A and B are shown apart, each in its own frame.
Chain A
Amino acid sequence: MEIPYTVAIRRDTGLTNGKIGIWLFLASEVMLFGALFASYILIRTGAPSWPRGDTMLNVPLATVNTIVLISSSVTMVMAWASLMRGRFETFRIYMGLTILCGLAFLVIKYFEYSAHFHEGALPSTNNFLAIYFTLTGLHGLHVMGGMAVNAYFWGPGAKLWKTNPTWFTNRVENAGLFWHFVDLVWIFLFPTLYLL
């Protein structure tokens, strides 16, 4: 049975179900990461001393990661724009780039984490590292989740373009919203943990 407004918009709201659904999900994610940021504030303001980010963490590597994620946001929105222009092959290129950027982000994070573990800087060492690993770990899981969704739309899910291009475009747009959110979280995470 057809659920109305899956593909077409409902006139009085101007929205599809999926668009509302993804924004509601993002609202819950704002509260999730918000709680971790609130915890950071509480722990840091209550601590007798707190190390400056650049004394504990690799700022150059994280700056590269910031550039990588921002670039991936551009390629993601370009992927959607390509679909809006009806250019499927261009979509695949941009979506592929987005996935690769995500992979690059994770690889750099892997190197960062290994370096920490190697020198004995563990979550249990102190609260700075505890919140660092928890925040970036949860963020990293979201990067992986986003990549999985993007890979689905790049690969097996792409056949929807042939049968229902509008629906496919909307779904890619919604996946993009999630991906941009992941970038948004990093935009706040990076200065908080690394620069302050």
Chain B
Amino acid sequence: MSDHAATPMTGDHAVDIDKHVRIYITVFVALMVLTVVTVTVSRFHLPVPIAVTVALIVAIIKGSLVACYFMHLISEKKLIYAVLALTGAFFIALMVLPVVTVHDGFWIH
């Protein structure tokens, strides 16, 4: 039994949902295209630093699309942005500091 939701939700109404759905389809197509791009580029066997850079850029674009539109981050509240910004800062520290520290030092395998 379907029930039209009478109570207010997160601010969206039926009209907005239609707009959102159109965005979801667009994002889906974009993600498919970018998947094809990243796989195709990998077939060229570019030198590792370039390959990594390209792959990372494509992944970040894809990830941002999922985050911004599927996860609605583009219209989220400040609190969520603040939590994610903090997480992002520590994420970068975790990515960068260990490898830089090990390679600044002396470690024989």
Contact = CB atoms under 8 A, between A and B. Distances in A.
Direct contact, A vs B (beta carbon within 8 Å): yes
Interface string A160-180: 011001100110010011001
A180 B84 CA distance: 15
Interface string B9-46: 11010100100110011011001100100110010010
B3 A165 contact: yes
A177 B71 contact: yes
Contact of A48 (B51, B71, B91, B109): B109
Dominant SS at the A interface?
helix
Interface string A59-78: 10001001100110110111
Category for how many chain A residues contact B: 35 or more
Chain A to chain B: the 4 pairs with minimum beta-carbon distance, closest first:
A195-B42, A191-B55, A86-B4, A27-B87
Interface in B40-96: 42, 45, 48, 51-52, 55-56, 58-59, 62-63, 66-67, 70-71, 77, 79-80, 83-84, 86-87, 90-91, 94-95
B78 to A, nearest CB: 8
B66 A187 contact: yes
A184 interface: yes
16 contacts: A14-B77, A16-B10, A20-B79, A30-B87, A47-B109, A76-B70, A81-B24, A85-B17, A166-B8, A170-B10, A176-B71, A180-B67, A183-B70, A192-B55, A196-B48, A196-B52
Contacts of A23: 80, 83-84
B106 interface: no
Contact of B70 (A13, A19, A180): A180
B10 A184 contact: no
Given A23-B84, A81-B20, A84-B17, 12 more contacts: A20-B80, A23-B80, A38-B98, A81-B24, A86-B2, A86-B4, A87-B2, A88-B2, A162-B3, A180-B71, A192-B59, A195-B42
Contacts, number: 153
A31 B91 contact: yes
B38 A195 contact: yes
B17 A81 contact: yes
A39 to B, nearest CB: 8
A126 interface: no
Interface residues of B, number: 55
Interface string A132-144: 0000000000000
Contact of B79 (A13, A35, A38, A70): A13
Residue of A70, A71, A88, A188 most packed against chain B (CB within 10 A): A70
Nearest to B46: A196
A15 B9 CA distance: 11
B66 A73 contact: yes
A26 B87 CA distance: 10
